Structure 1
Amino acid sequence: MTTPGIGHNNPPDPITEALSAITDLYDEAKNFADGEPIDSEAMHDTVTALRDAIHEAGKAADALRVEAKKPLDEQIAAIQDRFNPAIQPKKGMVDRAKASLAELLAAWRKQEADRKAAIAAAARLEAERIAKEAQDAIRASAGNLAAREEAEALLVEAKQAEKKAKRDDKAATSGLGLRTVWRAELVDVEKALDWCYGRDPDAFRALCQSQADTVVRAGMRMVPGFRVWEDKVV
């Protein structure tokens, strides 16, 4: 009868083995990546084999990672599938209903805002008319006590009209759930580019570099303002 070997009832964990292999290869890589250049064909071949080995070890570990998290991914997917019809951003029932209702509310609130703005504008014009009439009456009442009394009464009316105009203006700009949104529209590209560069030159250059890298990778070999060359990498 053969006696079972060590580990018969507790086989090695493949994930532990895979990560340990990477650790060992990493430690070995540090022996070569110590700042000294490769000085022989044999050393070149050894480093190449080591690099290939740690690359394959990484692929194997990643495959184990994917397999290990697969049950969790399936659980998460099941949870998402259950909740998404109701609360998925922009597509779920909640956001779709809110968007549709917001359109109805916005249309009504805009209509109310326009109506109240018209009332406020009319009140301002009336207040200005009465104020001008009162001022004219004050100037014309010099030496006439009865006319002065009428002018002063008209001045009181003008102040009341001004207060009403202010109330109407406040009513037109509050209480409807509307908010002011400022936007910028590009109308002069050259001036906008000058402004963008002056505001943050590093960010502007990074954007240009990103665009150039994208077209060069796609096959473009001449980019205005850039030098394009071929480089060899491992």
Structure 2
Amino acid sequence: MGSHRQTIRRRDSMTLLNTAATIGHNQPPVDPVDEALANVQDLYDEAKNFADGEPIDSEAMHDTVTALRDAIHEAGKVADALRVEAKKPLDDQIDAIQTRFNPFIQPKKGKVDKAKASLGELLAAWRKRVADEKAAIAAAAKAEADRKAAEAQAAIRASAGNPAAREEAEALLDEAKQAEKQAKRDDKAATSGLGLRTVWRAELLDMEKALDWGFGRAPEQFMAIVQTMAEGVVRSGMRSVPGFKVWEERVV
């Protein structure tokens, strides 16, 4: 590697970095994309020769490395511009398709979802009313079944030694069992086949407990969010962040 760097020192840095092929008049045209990507590859290979762990040891070498870094940066910009140009026809086609379909089927904003949401509110209100009515019927049936069961049990206890009273008590018990079956049917009708679904939601009530829970459940994910927040305020000018060390660092 040392001999390679000695050779580099003797070259003109701009000659080193000018890796684009010279196209003669009698040569076939070169694909600009192939040329741009080949240029990036050449400069990348040259960069690997320098980024080998050995430090810069002279001003001339510093200038050469600076020029190489600038050159590969510019080569990347050229390649990216060609990428944007190459995919523009596809982007235009996609934009046209999206523009045509979005007013109708865009999630939450299109006519389909807007109409479904509006109609869903009407349906939910009606179905809740029906559900409440059925729930009231089921509750009344359950109360009546409980009342008859209690009455039958009391009659059974009071009929001891009285066959006629026992028969009446057993009839009451059969009636109570029928009432219980009807109450179960009413309860099933009140809780199924309504077109409603149950959803569970969470509302923040105690922030301190919630933060403790969040950190305990996923500490790495939690700290990644806090780290992103800290980096954001430091970039915006804050120089003191609770729980963080903030320092200045020079980078290229």
Which TM-score band (shorter chain)? over 0.9
Instruction: Tell me: CA distance 1:5–1:215, structure 2 relative to 1, closer, same or farther (3 Å).
Output: closer
Show CA shifts across 1:48-79 (max 9, x none): 11010000011111111111111121111111
Specify the alignment match of 1:92 in structure 2.
110
2:172 is the alignment partner of 1:149: no
Deviation at 1:90, TM superposition (A): 1.6
Aligned counterpart for 1:21 among listed residues 39, 42, 52: 39
Match for residue 11 of structure 1 among 4, 12, 29: 29
The residue type paired with residue 125 of structure 1 is A
Structure 1: unaligned runs, 5 residues or longer: none
In structure 2, the partner of 1:187 is 205
Aligned match for 2:239, one of 216, 221, 224? 221
Query: SS state of the match for residue 127, structure 1?
Result: helix
Matched, 1:51 2:59: no
What does 1:133-148 correspond to in 2, within 5 Å? 133-148=151-166
C-alpha separation in 1, matches of 2:116 and 2:103: 14
The range that moved more, 197-206 or 168-177, is 197-206
Give the 5 Å matches for 1:57-206. Answer: 57-206=75-224
Q: CA deviation at 1:119?
A: 0.8
SS of residue in 2 equivalent to 1:106: helix
Moved over 3 A (4+): none
1:26 aligns to what SS in structure 2?
helix
Tell me how many residue pairs correspond in the alignment: 229
Q: 2:218 is matched by which residue type in structure 1?
A: D
Structure 2 unaligned regions, length at least 5: 1-23
1:83-118 C-alpha deviation (Å, 9 max, x unpaired): 222212222221111111111111111111111111
Match in the other structure for 2:48? 30
Q: CA deviation at 1:6?
A: 2.0
Q: TM-score, normalised by structure 2?
A: 0.87
d(CA) in 1 for partners of 2:43, 2:202: 55
TM-align CA RMSD:
1.4
Residues 92-150 of structure 1, C-alpha deviations (whole Å, 9 max, x = no match): 22111111111111111111111111111111111111111111111111111111111
